[in-house]
Amino acid sequence: MSDLFASSEASASSRLSAASTFDASPFESVPTFADVEPGDQQRWTTWPAITPSERGPLPWPDWVVTSAGALDTELGILKTGKEADVFLLERAVPDDPTQRTLLAAKRYRDSDHSSFHRSGVYTEGRSTRNTRDTRALAKKSEHGRAVAAAQWSFAEFDALSRMWELGAPVPYPVQVNGTELLMEFIGSDSGVAAPRLAAVRSDRAELDGLFDQVVDLMRIFATAGFAHGDLSAYNLLVHDGRVRVIDLPQIVDIIANPQGLDLLHRDCVNICDWFTRRRVERDAEELFAEMLAASYA
């Protein structure tokens, strides 16, 4: 189970350095779009510049824009966080309305610009196979800080990919490139983000259904041997009546991490306390027992 983390951390540095090189052969016949130039807050799509391992799980959803002629347009900021900021991005081929999608671009900061200081709790039990990276991380060198920031983006990309393949309600991870993770935007076509569960005002029957959805997604994680590690009503979105879970860089291996069970228990307490405060009483210990049973099934 800890291979998920080992693979993401081992490849973070190599992917970071390889981001500018790729095999151009599949794109030899792509038109040059000589009459189009990126404008303000625009860039050419980064899709062709990344390796296959940095793209989301196959099959790619129909809405994923893979054309080398697409432009990425930054539309604004969706969320600021302790370790990363999330921006709204449009990826579209000029003059082709059938090739347009909105993406959430999560960009991780290095340790000099991050206020996220709890990473050690979540990274226990993970390994870094690249010895140069291990030394750089220990020395907190410039290279080490870059590797550390990229590790979070690749860890979240790998976690999203794994959970997507298992059927968990997570945003589809489109690609990862250095410290930037592009994923499915959960919201309207006009760019209005789905509300967090914490902002939802529902009656008891609706809340009962939302709680059941949260338990279902926690069970998928637990069955695979993982806990979200920081689950709360603030990283659960509700879109068209469906709960989606976000913010997965700290996903925890329940067995390999010495604090894994404590973090799973905290997830259960956070969720049950939130629903109980809204007069939908739920027992955290009962939920924890259910998750434990799922993890050992």
Catalytic residue (one of 72, 133, 247, 253): 247
Q: What is the DSSP string of the chain?
A: -THHHHHHHHHHHHHHHHTT----GGGTT----TT----TTEEE-SGGGS-GGGBPPSSPPTT----TT-EEEEEEEEEE-SSEEEEEEEEE-TT-TTSEEEEEEEEEPPGGG-----HHHHHTT-----HHHHHHHHHT-HHHHHHHHHHHHHHHHHHHHHHHHTT-S---EEEEETTEEEEE--B-TTSPBPPBGGG----HHHHHHHHHHHHHHHHHHHHTTEE-SS--TTSEEEETTEEEE---TT-EETTTSTTHHHHHHHHHHHHHHHHHHTT----HHHHHHHHHHHHT-
| Distance of alpha carbon 228 from alpha carbon 213, whole angstroms | 15
Indicate if 247 belongs to the active site: yes
Catalytic residue (one of 158, 230, 253, 267): 230
Residue 116's nearest CA partner among 216, 277, 250 is 250
The answer to whether 127 touches 91, Cβ cutoff 8 Å, is no
Give the active site residues. Answer: 230, 247
